[in-house]
Structure 1
Amino acid sequence: MGFSQALSGLNSAATNLDVVGNNIANSQTVGFKGSSVQFADVYTGAMAGQGTRVAAVLQDFSNGTLEATGRNLDLGINGNGFFRFTQAGEVVYSRNGQLTLTADGYLQNAQGARLTGFPAGVGTGGQPVDLQVPAGAMNATATTGVEASFNLDATVDSIDRATVPFSTTDSDSYSYANTGTVYDSLGVQHTMTTYFTKTADNTWEVRVAVDGNEDAANTGELVFDNNGTLNEAGSTFPTYGFTPGGGAEPLNFSISFDGSTQFGNDFALDSLTQNGYAAGALVGITIDDDGTLIGNYANEKSQNLGVIALANFRNPEGLTSKGDNVWVETGASGQPLLGLAGAGQFGTLESGAVETSNVDLTRELVDLIVAQRNYQANTQTIKVQDEVLQAAVNLR
């Protein structure tokens, strides 16, 4: 009798209904990957087969659609790769990039799994660690270099230093002055004033004072050619030294005047930059499309805090689902290949977006109808077999 065939069909159809129902239930789950059932017939050499069985349930790891959320801690992978997390001492992988920042600075998902990456400055040569945003402020950095570019007026008269000694309080003792800002080792801001004095044709004396205190021991000299271009080889750019006080270390910095000119125009400052800054508290974080975690600070500076690690597998279908939208590696999947977003086979990261489920709801509804008809057909087979058996029993 064909009861065994029909029962195997019912069991397989029930599994198919479970898979389709699970796909439909997770059609709105971020990073979810739909599954499909593969069937195989059962044949033992008899004239008729013994029914069917579920050969495998395979997951479809094709990409879902990236959907903007506007939240900077939401991440989506545009291309291949998985986020790497640690959860309860186990390494797991996911396409769900909905992250939150914990009180102790870790990036984790809703289930408490922590996002991993490479420490700042290490790159893929390092061991992945749980990424953590430090709570402390960015330390202050003293100014060690200043880059300035000026136009010095070629038409002004020269000043004879032998008869007119330099004084910061005497405007007749220099030709032009300009102010800027420098920082000491404690991040305290100081006013830097640069004084230019034309001492001869195409030659300018340079002196620097910080908070009105001049470093008389170090005097620079700018030499220009006949076309008004700075002759760097013939010029001197000393290191200026000051004692800011207040417990800060002595302040020493050099000034580069690359790009300065001497034309018959008014004095003008073209650019002025320096490499020091005050301490600053963390005000926010951003994530670049290469996975770099950037800390933004109140002193308008940014700092690399690490880079997100992505993983890929030779056979993603060999991964085992652990629920909560995560998978673990198996022998069938192969070992994870770690790398950075946008490099090689890895996709880029999109901040402020998440990857939606790759379930096609319309197709799943059609598959649901087919699975339902399959189940009903197998029940009909049992019903017919029951009627045939009853007829045989009733023979007299």
Structure 2
Amino acid sequence: MGFSQALSGLNSAAVNLDVVGNNIANSQTVGFKGSSVQFADVYTGALAGQGNRVAAVLQDFSNGTLEATGRSLDLGINGNGFFRFTQGGEVVYSRNGQLTLTADGYLQNAQGARLTGFPAGVGTGGQPVELRVPADAMNATPTSGVDISMNLDATVGSIDRTAFPFDTTDSDTYSYANTGTVYDSLGIQHTMTTYFTKTADNIWEVRVAVDGNADSANVGQLVFDNNGSLNEPGSTFPTYSFAPGGGADVLDFDIRFDGSTQFGNDFALNSLDQNGYAAGALVGITFDDDGTLRGNYANEKSQVLGVITLANFRNPEGLSPNGDNVWVETGSSGQPLLGLAGVGQFGALESGAVETSNVDLTRELVDLIVAQRNYQANTQTIKVQDEVLQAAVNLR
């Protein structure tokens, strides 16, 4: 019996050495989770036990430290959750967010597993798909609205429109002008000039020209109260219609002057915003803390390309390690719970950082010494049992 007891101890000690050795070997593996061995004694109704056995090898899913890399395609999860990948037709899960962009635009890890997420605009109600960054340029968007906020100088004199008909080339026919930019349906930039003419106290005529072409049919009127604030109900805001040619659609846009004032200060343009933009080629991608994947374009615009899907499990320790820094679900882990980073139980994403291994190298080296001594002690038991048996054989 003594030999079998010692042999069981040797086998268990060997497994413990394997686990500790594997932890040490992966102390620098991104996203690695260390393991520990649980032992159980063996009894078969005999007076003395039959030795021990390995009851389980448990994985430690505590978080590792986030380490900055400065690389935009490196991602780390600050909290709970796993990245969801597809690999060889199988769904796998990982804490390793070291990604690369393939030639056809897919985000994948070093082993070729592709990152999944929810399509843009769908949210968690959709089905996760492999995230892909299209190489297509962002289409141009024509201007449909312009917002101007400014101050008109209350001290200037009025202009008699009958005596001075409006002429874009004659500055005596208007009080003030400013310029901005608008875009047609082909993304071609055009110069918009807005002309302001004081026609009476607290009343200003507004005209618009694009590329020097004024629309005489659409003339606005700004009315201010005695405190210099814009009287919006009493005002009429101009619209503009312009045929740019060259195959572009007719350019129609409205102009608003919310927040504009009439004080005894110099003319001042506070802000001018319009919602059109030119086409732009893709120049890069970024990730938000909530996992939103954004494409950045040469026209200084960005658009959402998708949202990274995170997964969690009722019992993460039940996941089965599959090599290459990934796990697969099992009956013990339960089904994956999908969600978005930073929402509920899921941690936030950190771009430009990775999660280091959660292995405490100092502790593992101490455990290695203990495991080694345990192995030696069991070999000593075999030696003693051998000596006892030899003594019995030598009896005369």
TM-score calculated relative to the size of structure 2: 0.99
Cα distance in 1 between the residues matched to 2:256 and 2:175? 19
Quote the Cα distance in structure 2 between the aligned partners of 1:48 and 1:244.
Answer: 98
Q: Tell me what 2:206 maps to.
A: 206
Measured after TM superposition, the shift of residue 261 of structure 1 is 0.7
| Aligned residue number for residue 171 of structure 2 | 171
Within 2, Cα distance between the matches of 1:174 and 1:346? 60
Q: What letter corresponds to residue 286 of structure 2 in structure 1?
A: T
Give the whole-Å Cα distance in 1 for the aligned partners of 2:261 and 2:26: 67
- 1:3: how far off? 0.9
The equivalent residue for 1:151 is: 151
Deviation at 1:158, TM superposition (A): 1.2
1:14 alignment partner AA: A
Aligned residues: 396
Residue 18 of structure 1 pairs with residue 18 of structure 2: yes
Instruction: Please give the secondary structure, in 2, of the residue aligned with 1:379.
Output: helix
Partners of 2:118 and 2:252 in 1: how far apart?
35
Give the aligned partner of residue 304 of structure 1: 304
1:334-349 correspondence to structure 2 within 5 Å = 334-349=334-349
- Judge conservation of contact 2:206–2:238 (CA < 8 Å) in 1: no
What is the distance in 2 between the residues matched to 1:242 and 1:215?
Answer: 8
Per-residue CA deviation, residues 63-103 of structure 1 (Å, 9 max, x unaligned), is 00111111111111111111111111111000001111111
Q: Distance in 1 between matches of 2:2 and 2:261?
A: 99
Task: Quote the residue 2:129 is aligned against.
Answer: 129
Give the distance between the partners of 1:329 and 1:298, measured in 2 at CA. 42
Using the TM superposition, give the Cα deviation of residue 263 of structure 1 relative to its aligned residue in structure 2, in angstroms: 1.0
Equivalent position of 1:352 in the other structure:
352
Q: CA deviation at 1:360?
A: 0.5
Question: How far off is 1:382 after superposition?
Answer: 1.0
1:238 CA drift (Å): 3.1
**Which residue does 1:259 correspond to in 2?**
259
Residue 149 of structure 1 deviates from its aligned partner by 0.9
Q: Is the counterpart of residue 274 in structure 1 residue 274 in structure 2? A: yes
Match of residue 6 from structure 1: 6
Q: Who is 1:246 aligned against?
A: 246
Q: Identify the residue that residue 379 of structure 2 maps to in structure 1.
A: 379
Amino acid at match of 2:170: D
Structure 1 stretches of 4+ moved >2 Å = none
Q: Does 1:316 align with 2:316?
A: yes
SS at match of 1:11: helix
Letter in 2 for 1:129: V
The one-letter amino acid paired with 1:277 is: Y
Q: Where in structure 2 are there 5+ consecutive unaligned residues?
A: none
User: Quick one: distance in 2 between partners of 1:101 and 1:167?
Assistant: 56
**Once superposed, what is the RMSD of the aligned Cα atoms?**
0.8
Query: 5 Å matches for 1:104-119?
Result: 104-119=104-119
Q: CA deviation at 1:345?
A: 0.7
Deviation sequence 1:337-387 (CA, Å, 0-9, x none): 111111001111111111100000000001001100111111111111111
% identical equivalent positions: 88
Amino acid at match of 1:362: T
2:45 is aligned with 1:45: yes
Give distance in 2, aligned partners of 1:77 and 1:153.
55
